[in-house]
Structure 1
């Protein structure tokens, strides 16, 4: 396997630890541990290593699937990784909708041939016919991220169902990375609920504010779970005992309150960022989730120059859009605490004003 360097993570590694404010974070602000019972008892492996059966059954119910069609993982990153390893091999083909999180195309590209289907600004609308045109006889997988990272575009239910039908008609699967789905006021049905060729991946990170749990899951056909579980024996073996313990609380009776709180927080911060963009003549597609893809201010050659200036002059990290294939935009994350967001925007505004 020869895999590309993960550009976004290398950018973060270079800048985020020395910067004052992380304004490119892609999740909602983290919840405090004291809101949960944090004692899981003996800190051994989760047994069985695919996840506690009753909890898997609870998660499966969300998708209209069975417990044996759920695999608990170390975040959605591992859920996607194991799914790719289970489905794709040399000689296969995958279709990936971009821009998106790099792992959703770089891992498939390390395994097989990939066709990227681009979304175009300003609306980032997904045309199912473009996906259908990209499908080949050897296509095994169609990949989409909904709501989309970095644009925040939430593709409508009809579009996702059309993608499912395209994949199913080709004997392929539709994988939908749905880590931001529950931040929507009215979440769409998950891909895994659409039929046996729908695969959903998610985690407690982005919507629930529990990144430190490193807890995620994949919902996929039982035979693929068996293959992915076999691969998992060579990665993390089992999910985190601590992560599963807290996640069970967060996805249980407390979930409605947590999601309401997080949605309200995201909405307030989104309004503040929208006002900031208006003040500075910048534009975005109003996002679902906590990421927006913003046009580069005047006075800067491209997003890389702008983001470098912001971090060097104001100690604020943004994500340059060339990391997503769009050098004329940058990603801003607005899930952080409101006071940090306010300070970060003020600093970014100073940097813009100096070039005005």
Structure 2
């Protein structure tokens, strides 16, 4: 089995450590640990290894599912991996809506065959008929990321339900990575609540500001969750005890945390929108904390622009090449507002 290098992570590995401002981070600003009780007691395995039953019940309520239809994981990345391991084999086919976070395409591509369906710029709409045309008799999975990374496009409920119906009619599952869903002011119903073929993955990273916990989950029908748990025995076995301990507290205080984080996202979106417009650039006004911006005049590609910015201004942006769009770059605006302003001013100096 071969898998292509994760180009965004390789870009970060090259530049992030020595940079002064990270304007390519894809989550909301991190919360301080002193907000939580950090005394976890014994640092043993989480038992049962699919997550504490009470915590799974709390998560399951969001999806109109039972606790046994939730599996806790080490971040959404593992949740997605476990779904792919359980549903995509050498004889299977997946349909993936792109652009998207690379692992949502590259991992199933390493296991089986993938057909991509592109969102259409500049509004990044999804042609549902194109998804229908891509589905085959051997299709086992359709993959969405909504709200979308990198574009920030939040596909409307009627579009997502239409895609769900296509998958269900083909006896395939719809997997939706929903890590940004709760940053929306009016979140859509999660895919796992739409029916027996719906699978949702999420975490406390992007919307809660708790990336360091590496705690996530998947919710869906029992056969998918059981297959994921079976594979989890061979990956991380259980989620981390410390991550689960703090994640439970965050979920208990979710309304307050999410209200704070939505306010940060809204203020920072306004700051970034003004910057985009001032430089006569364009983006689709995003939901979440990522924007996919056109490359400024005078630069041949996103990579050329982003390399110049990090080398001259110490600011990391994400080149559009890492998402298949060399005419754009991704900017993350979830960091603390003053640091965002500092980063944008540094990029101003390069553009000047």
TM-score category of the 2 structures, normalised to the smaller one: over 0.9
- What TM-score results when the alignment is normalised by the length of structure 1? 0.98
| Within-5 A mapping of 1:176-215 | 176-215=176-215
State the secondary structure of the residue aligned to 2:174.
Answer: strand
- Alignment correspondent of 1:95: 95
Give 1:224 shift. Answer: 1.9
- Alignment correspondent of 2:323: 324
Matched, 1:343 2:338: no
Residue-by-residue CA offset, 1:307-329 (whole Å, 9 max, x unaligned): 00000000100000011010000
- Alignment correspondent of 2:304: 305
State the secondary structure of the residue aligned to 1:301.
Answer: coil
Structure 1 unaligned regions, length at least 5: none
State the secondary structure of the residue aligned to 1:97.
Answer: strand
State the secondary structure of the residue aligned to 1:251.
Answer: helix
Residue-by-residue CA offset, 1:282-333 (whole Å, 9 max, x unaligned): 1100000000000000111111110000000001000000110100000000
Structure 2 unaligned regions, length at least 5: none
- Alignment correspondent of 1:288: 287
- Alignment correspondent of 1:112: 112
- Alignment correspondent of 2:154: 154
Q: Take 1:43 and 1:183, find their aligned partners in 2: how far apart are those partners?
A: 32
Q: Take 2:281 and 2:163, find their aligned partners in 1: how far apart are those partners?
A: 32
Q: Take 1:255 and 1:200, find their aligned partners in 2: how far apart are those partners?
A: 18
**Regions of 4+ moved over 2 Å:** none
State the secondary structure of the residue aligned to 1:200.
Answer: strand
Q: Take 2:351 and 2:121, find their aligned partners in 1: how far apart are those partners?
A: 22
Give 1:173 shift. Answer: 0.3
Matched, 1:165 2:165: yes
Q: Take 1:109 and 1:268, find their aligned partners in 2: how far apart are those partners?
A: 38
Give 1:335 shift. Answer: 0.2
Give 1:276 shift. Answer: 0.6
State the secondary structure of the residue aligned to 1:238.
Answer: coil
Matched, 1:143 2:149: no
State the secondary structure of the residue aligned to 2:142.
Answer: strand
Number of matched pairs: 352
| Within-5 A mapping of 1:56-135 | 56-135=56-135
State the secondary structure of the residue aligned to 2:192.
Answer: helix
